Chain A
Amino acid sequence: MLHIYPVRLLHCADIHLDAAFQGLGETMGKRRRAALRQTFQNVVKLALELKVDALTIGGDLYEDLRSRQDAARFLAEQLGQLPFPVLIAPGNHDYWHAGSLYATNDWPSNVRIFSANEFSAVEVGDHRIFGIGHLKPKGTGNLLGSFKVPDGAPAIALFHGSERGQLSAEGVGKEDHAPFSEAEVAKAGFRFGLLGHFHKPRTTDHLVYPGNPEPLTFGEAGDRGAAEVDFGPDTPTVKIHKVNTFTLSDLEVDVTDCQHSDALLGRVREALPAGADHGARVRLVGELALGMQLGPSELVRRLREGDRCVDVVFAARPALDLEQLSKAPDIRGQFVRGLRERDDFESEVVQAALRAGVEALQGEEPSIL
């Protein structure tokens, strides 16, 4: 019986260095990008601590259009200090092309970038790691295709792709790059698949998506990070290590009874998590008093003071007894009735119009900005 020596890998993906953080402002964007680099350094540090046999990266290490030589030099410096191989399978965001950072920079000798559109193998211990890269930002088909692992040592697949079974769980907007099914991994002869693309972590008997180690947008909660994968004679074991620098959370704050702007600010600030490396998306619910001279934008601006990472979702309704108001035979009643009859009454614009109109009838300036 063939004895297989254990192999330990650290697998990560979807770092998205130099990503743009839209909606948080430029200063916060810079901080978040710095956090991405810190997270990658954490991955490198973890790889050294775990004494792995190789570090594998399942694509989207950086963002092609946004990243510049500085990122390449940073990566080269970080990866160059590792005393074991680093295998990179470019994804749709860091696809390999002649002008890419992969192609236009000198990489340390331990770094192997899979720049071909067909699987090629690197031996790590008693295993062979077959990698393949994306060569275009869109339209990459099934990379497994009709590939069959040639006879030899146990094979592990490393690539960036969309496992069809998980695609729906990723939500609307996640593009179907290099689609494949989990069954195809085993069918091609691979013992296990080290993957990237889906930001939501997932581990099965046949593959692992470690997720993006550093949360990129609100809503990316849950354990994510770098996957320590041990290949022994039995089923590979996967352990996810958290390496993130920044934490994002979602909060809900009821603003009913906040009669003035300071009360509103105070209530939201109380709810925010402490620490500069914690971002929060605050959903304002309840009834917001009329005449509050603190519109959504100003509220966000005030909450972001001190470079806090805060986003606000306005779900609070104007503090109005619409039933009562709409019964009145006066213009205000008619105004409220007119708006309530609209199909899009619940929309942001109509709610703002309601608030603005009622406030104006009270002789107060609208507090909708």
Chain B
Amino acid sequence: MKVLSVTLQGFGALSGRFKLDEQLTVVGGPNESGKSTLHTAIRVALCGVDLPARGRMLKVTEVVLRRFRPWRGGPFAVEAEIELGGGRYRFVRDLEHPDTAQVFDLIKGGEVTDRFRRGRTVDVSVGLGMSREAFLAVSTVAQDQILSLTGESLQEDLQRASATSGGDSTARAAISLLEGWRQDHIRGDRTTTKPLDKNKRPRDLEEAQVKLARALERRRQLTEDLADQERLRAELGLAEVSTRTNEVAWKTAELAELQQDLEIVTAIDRQLQATPELRLPKDPPTLRDAATGARALAQQWQEAQAKLESLAPIGPELERISRQSAPSELAFLVGALEQPLPALPPASDLPGRLALLDHRRISFQRWSSDILALAGGAAGVFLVLFGLLHGGSVGIPIAAGGLVVLVVTVTVFFGLQRRLRLLLAVGGFTSMAQLRKASRAQDPEMAKVVAARETVQAGRSQAQKRLTELGIVKVEVGHIKEIAEQLPAAQESLQQRNSWTATAQRFRDELVARAKRVGISGNDPVQLANELSMRLRQLDEAEDSTRLRRELQGRRAERLAGRDFKALAKRAEQLGRELAGLEPIPEPHPLGVPSEELRRQYDEAVQRRDQIRGQLLPLQGRLQEQLKDAGDVPALEESVAELSDEVARLTRAEEAVKLAISELRQAEGQVHSDLAPILAEGLQGWLPEITGQRYHHAWVDPSDLTMHVAAEDSGSQIRVDDLSQGTREQIYVAIRTVLAKALSPKGEPIPLFFDDPSVSADDSRCIALLDTLRALSRTVQVVVFSHESRVGAWATRSEVPILSMTVVPASTGPDGTAPAEGARGDG
């Protein structure tokens, strides 16, 4: 591509047609002569102003249009005539209407504006297949790009050019920016080239992930706890139903059992009430022992009595004698009575009579009667006197007692005296005086006869005494013999009588003894037997009653089992009330299950219910805490969702940045690989000429576009950075020439506009650079803007066309601020 001319109808201070050489044009003139205005005008003529696709104009565009409005008024328009791809085109722009540019094909004729249109802008870069920015970046070489040229900046410039055709940043810088941004905004992994600040808190993504993890954990915990709560509530509901059911079942069963117990106990109590509580005798075994067979004994006694009564009666005398004596004795007594008494010598019978006497018995009788008479008489007299003296209800009986004593004493005294006389009569004495007198006279013969007589008399006396003892009043031998004859029969009868009597007595004694053992007095065996029998019956009744009562009481106690009847009744009443307050259940009382078992089941249900409550209460507390911290469940879910979105957003952003970095690296590698040999080859083509044959070979490292050169005969590579400034400048402009073609998508060489390229160079460097540009202009159109006179001199010397810009008189620009600058094209 070549710019043939630019026609300005009014652009700042400039107007007229400015024709450019197809190879090299020097635009010369002092400062403020309009070089920069022309540079801008060429750019505007080629590319137009920057316009958005729609809407308001960009601020920067507005500034440009305002600044370069024609100072002297008139049309504000530019035209450019170019050669591109073998064609010739004219770009016509009315800058009053920036989006109304037109392009005309100067060879074929006609308007071809659309071929160069991009949005609202008509731009020559479209025809080149480049972006506006890339075109401008490639075609324009700023002053500072050469001023501060080092190997590094040259390399960076190449990288920038390779990245965005020189318009913007380098790929490296872009990657670094993305990594830094990721570090700052997302906190990526440690592969970044940017050093990590360890003290820096983790940024968004990690924070969001941590928050999300916490929120998810809270939600998980909350969800689990809520689910647990629901489960426990459900279980509690079932447990409460079970508890109520079991309670009703248990209480119903217990009430039924209690009612049954109460009914039974009440019945027992009625029986107890009907059964008198009889008092048992002190010693029932003794009574039973005594009473058992009493009636038999009485009967036997009665039989014995009947036997006795059936025996023939015996006279009292005979009976007495039968008891006390025997027939042989009676015979002996009869013999004793019938033995004749020896006759006493007439004078000498006194000693015998005395001998017959028993003096001790006589003495005893005498003293006894005396003492009795004395003592009894005295006592009787005393009592009579005392009673009489005392008088009254006490005295009279005492006096009467005294008389009785006196009578008894007298009776006994005379009895004793009669016995004394009998004793004396044995010796033939009538009184004690005779006895005493006879005692004083004794005769041995007499004594012998007396002794014999005394023996007979003693015999008789004894017999009589015996007979007296036997109660035989009529002491006659005949009578006694009669008695003796009757005696054996009587004695047999008596023996039988005695035997039956003893038997009867034994029965009676037995009964009496038995009765006595149980505290019954009396002698009548029948009565005793009846009494005993009655008592035995009473005992039996008492025992029966007691046994029954005990049995009833046992059954009662067994039924009550240590419980109090009243307490049971109270409990039953309480259960009834409680059951009335409980919701009835369909089958409250499973058959055959005792209330204790139901109570146990109820207790288990209560335990289970309490256990669930025990689990539920702390859980609900924890839930309240959680909900207090996390808000309600939806809020927590929203928070989780928000954090999830945040994490997803950051993750997506990170993925995007990672992808961008990866693609940039890949693109960088690809472009560098493609560009490096082109640059090396292009540079090598120019190298001998622009370096005065010092260097012939060039290499460009595809990794970072560093350049090395080498002399023809030297194998050693020299980094461009190590070359002199002048050589570097030459190499730079050569490289820009190569780039101007390489970066053109269609391979169309892009014209280069240099802005004071040699301003800092000494004369030799300046000349060398300009020579290089002239050489390079054979392939690429070059326009050099310079205010240096030495450049003008070189151009004149080298016959290079010069566009001389002249200083225009100072004037006020359209915006009132711009300095006076202007020139007019020479056409």
Contacts and interface: CB of A to CB of B under 8 A. Distances in A.
B55 interface: yes
Contact of B53 (A65, A319, A349): A319
Interface in A318-369: 319, 321, 324-325, 327-335, 337-339, 348-350, 352-357, 360-363, 365-366, 368-369
Contacts of B130: 324, 327-328
A254 to B, nearest CB: 9
A31 to B, nearest CB: 11
A356 B134 contact: no
Interface in B215-239: 223, 226-227, 229-235, 237-238
B633 A65 contact: yes
B131 A352 contact: no
Interface in B618-634: 631-634
A256 interface: yes
A66 B633 contact: yes
Contact of B664 (A18, A66, A331): A331
A99 interface: yes
A138 to B, nearest CB: 14
Nearest to A365: B181
B81 interface: no
Given A20-B638, A321-B118, A334 B169 contact: no
A330 B227 CA distance: 61
Contacts of B653: 352, 366, 368-369
In the complex, which of the residues A100, A352, A361 has the most CB atoms of chain B within 10 Å of its own CB atom? A361
A359 B58 CA distance: 18
Interface stretch (A22-30, A40-48, A80-88): A22-30
Given A23-B642, A338-B666, A329 B743 contact: yes
Contacts of A356: 178, 656-657, 660
Contacts of A63: 634
B178 A366 contact: yes
A338 B211 CA distance: 36
Given A21-B638, A99-B233, A331 B164 contact: yes
A150 B161 CA distance: 88
B637 A349 contact: no
A104 B177 CA distance: 60
Given A329-B742, A363-B168, A257 B52 contact: yes
Nearest to A18: B634
A19 interface: yes
Given A257-B52, A297-B649, A330-B134, A98 B664 contact: no
Contact of B660 (A25, A97, A287, A360): A360
Interface stretch (B401-409, B667-675, B762-770): B667-675
B168 A65 contact: no
Nearest to B130: A328
B645 interface: yes
A99 B229 contact: yes
B174 interface: yes
B635 interface: yes
A21 to B, nearest CB: 6
Contacts of B667: 331-332, 334-335, 337-338
A330 B233 CA distance: 70
B395 interface: no
Contacts of B173: 363
Contacts of A66: 632-634, 637
Interface in B769-826: none
Nearest to B640: A22
Given A356-B660, A360-B174, A365-B177, A104 B671 contact: no
A151 B674 CA distance: 89
Interface residues of B, number: 75
A363 B175 CA distance: 10
Nearest to A104: B233
B474 interface: no
Given A256-B54, A331-B667, A324 B126 contact: yes
A175 B744 CA distance: 59
A141 interface: no
B650 interface: yes
A268 B113 CA distance: 35
B85 to A, nearest CB: 15
A99 B237 contact: yes
B481 interface: no
Interface size class of A (residues with CB under 8 A): 35 or more
B238 A98 contact: yes
B480 to A, nearest CB: 131
Interface in B162-189: 162-165, 168-169, 171, 173-175, 177-178, 181, 185-186
A115 B104 CA distance: 85
A368 B656 contact: yes
Contacts of B668: 331, 334
B566 interface: no
A337 B130 CA distance: 14
Contacts of B134: 328, 330
A287 B233 contact: no
Contact of B56 (A104, A256, A257): A257
B30 interface: no
B120 to A, nearest CB: 11
A23 B645 contact: yes
Given A334-B670, A335-B667, A363-B168, A353 B657 contact: yes
A319 B119 CA distance: 11
Contacts of B223: 65
B171 A257 contact: no
Contacts of A350: 656, 659
Contacts of B638: 20-22, 24-26, 29
A256 B55 CA distance: 9
Interface string B31-62: 00000000000000000000011111010000
Given A23-B645, A338-B667, A369-B653, A330 B238 contact: no
B169 A362 contact: yes
B278 interface: no
Nearest to A103: B237
Interface string B364-375: 000000000000
A329 B745 contact: yes
A366 B657 contact: yes
Nearest to B181: A365
B389 interface: no
A329 B674 contact: yes
B675 to A, nearest CB: 8
Contacts of A366: 178, 181, 653, 656-657, 660
A30 B655 CA distance: 33
Contacts of A26: 631, 635, 638-639, 642
Given A330-B164, A356-B660, A361 B169 contact: yes
Interface string B264-286: 00000000000000000000000
A296 B649 contact: yes
B663 interface: yes
Nearest to B119: A321
B397 interface: no
Contacts of A354: 660
Nearest to B184: A365
A217 interface: no
Contact of A363 (B177, B231, B634): B177
B226 A65 contact: yes
A360 B174 CA distance: 5
6 contacts: A26-B635, A64-B230, A98-B235, A331-B164, A357-B664, A362-B168
Given A18-B633, A321-B131, A329-B674, 4 more contacts: A103-B234, A362-B169, A363-B169, A363-B177
Interface of B: 52-56, 58, 118-119, 126, 129-131, 134, 161-165, 168-169, 171, 173-175, 177-178, 181, 185-186, 223, 226-227, 229-235, 237-238, 631-635, 637-639, 641-642, 645-646, 649-650, 652-653, 655-657, 659-660, 663-664, 666-668, 670-671, 674-675, 742-745
The 5 nearest A-B residue pairs measured at CB: A257-B55, A98-B234, A22-B641, A99-B230, A352-B656
